[in-house]
Structure 1
Amino acid sequence: MTRRQRLVALVCVGWLLAIGLAAPVAAFQVERASTQLIDGTYWLDAFIDFRFTDQALEALENGVPLTIALHTRIRRKGARIWEESLFDQAIHYTIRYKPLSERYSVEPPAGGEVRSFVTRDAALRALGTVSRLRLISNERLDPDSRYQFHLRVSLDIDALPLPLRPMAYLRPSWRLHSGWSKWPLEP
């Protein structure tokens, strides 16, 4: 292989890596989040704005369910990166379109009630409204310390149908997330 051919090959590999392994798209945004202490347990209320890419919306319109992972952590304020979280949980919600009934459904974690919607916007608003999500018992917290809860929302690529996964892993338009946001844990 000549020097020129190696250079061309390196440039091609670089472009493929840049296209395929680009940073995830921060398309979801946690608009607000708050906690309430009720009967010794902290509960989360939040609103998330979902801005799906055209590719994800096209898949949804064609009957592909999209699963959202809502990841919550509770850590001592100012904790070092190597310190363990007091609470670490990921729960999954699914939105799907049913072409035969022309309705959207939002499915909460196992055991929750599936809700049905006529419009995609209504389904996305419902998906983005987190109400009374159980976090942690107050007994597990040191009364002399201050805590934060961390919240991240992402599209669960592993929940996509198998034929879509390779493309989803390689294209940034499928790696959708909110990034981590921090909020004070307050009663």
Structure 2
Amino acid sequence: MTGRPAHQTRWLLPAALLLAPLFLLASVAFGAAKDGLRVEQVETRLVDDMFFMNALLDYRFSTEALEALENGVPLTILVQIQIRRVGAWLWEDSQLDLQLRYAIRYKPLSERYEVYRLPGTEGRSFVSRDAAIRALGEIVDLSLIGASSLDDDTDYEVQIRASLDIEELPLPLRPMAYLKPSWKLSSGWSKWPLTP
């Protein structure tokens, strides 16, 4: 009879039991990386006395959110932007605190996707969902703050966070969205230097 001696196979079961949680954690982490919102790039520039910002955000909506979009439910993204002193304490006031809302919706009759800034209902129209989601993540030439209102000898940074606004979902959908992690999409805060 061929096979491994008992003393060589005795450690396989305990090793498998120890490694199983690691594989589970890796698969959960991989799944979490698949869906979510992320700030990819932020650039600022100074024109005359005003700082302007361009930003690129990557929106990877969950299957449930995309299914709702395909069924005519608009998805609203809340983008929060702050300008703060580098190394500022949590209780220090921000130099700027902006909240912007953008929305994407599908119009079944025209079979097109629309991306627009709220308040308002008019925006850019797209044939494909991927193109619309890419456009949703582009912020171009947003005026931030006048340079004269900042201290010359202080370094500042732009802090930015994007999240899916559950409060803007239709009322019947909200309870499920509050309970399911697949709806709780947020980039978390990221920091970028405010440079001329």
Normalised-by-shorter TM-score class: 0.7 to 0.9
Q: From the superposition, tell whether residues 113 and 65 of structure 1 become closer, same or farther in structure 2 (CA, over 3 Å).
A: closer
Aligned length in residues: 164
User: Does 1:100 find its partner at 2:118?
Assistant: no
Query: Contact conserved, 1:40 with 1:137, CA < 8 A, in 2?
Result: yes
Q: Which SS does the other structure have where 2:154 is aligned?
A: coil
Q: Which SS does the other structure have where 1:158 is aligned?
A: helix
Q: Which residues in structure 2 correspond to 1:6-155 (within 5 Å)?
A: 27-110=36-119, 114-155=123-164
Percentage identity across paired residues of the two chains: 57
* Structure 1 vs Structure 2 CA RMSD: 1.7
User: Which consecutive unaligned segments of at least 5 residues does structure 2 have?
Assistant: 1-31
Which structure is richer in relative contact order (CA contacts within 8 A, separation 6 or more)?
1
Which structure has the larger Rg over C-alpha atoms?
2
Distance 1:176 1:134 in 2: 26
Letter in 2 for 1:108: R
C-alpha displacement of 1:123: 0.2
Q: From the superposition, tell whether residues 111 and 169 of structure 1 become closer, same or farther in structure 2 (CA, over 3 Å).
A: closer
Distance 1:173 1:112 in 2: 26
TM-score normalised by the chain length of structure 2? 0.80
Distance 2:95 2:67 in 1: 39
TM-score normalised by the chain length of structure 1? 0.84
Q: Which SS does the other structure have where 1:122 is aligned?
A: helix
Q: Which SS does the other structure have where 1:70 is aligned?
A: strand
Query: Contact conserved, 1:26 with 1:177, CA < 8 A, in 2?
Result: no
Moved over 3 A (4+): 109-113
Q: From the superposition, tell whether residues 117 and 64 of structure 1 become closer, same or farther in structure 2 (CA, over 3 Å).
A: same
Q: From the superposition, tell whether residues 26 and 136 of structure 1 become closer, same or farther in structure 2 (CA, over 3 Å).
A: farther
User: Which consecutive unaligned segments of at least 5 residues does structure 1 have?
Assistant: 1-22
Q: From the superposition, tell whether residues 45 and 113 of structure 1 become closer, same or farther in structure 2 (CA, over 3 Å).
A: farther
| Match of residue 190 from structure 2 | 181
Q: Which SS does the other structure have where 2:118 is aligned?
A: coil
Distance 2:182 2:57 in 1: 19
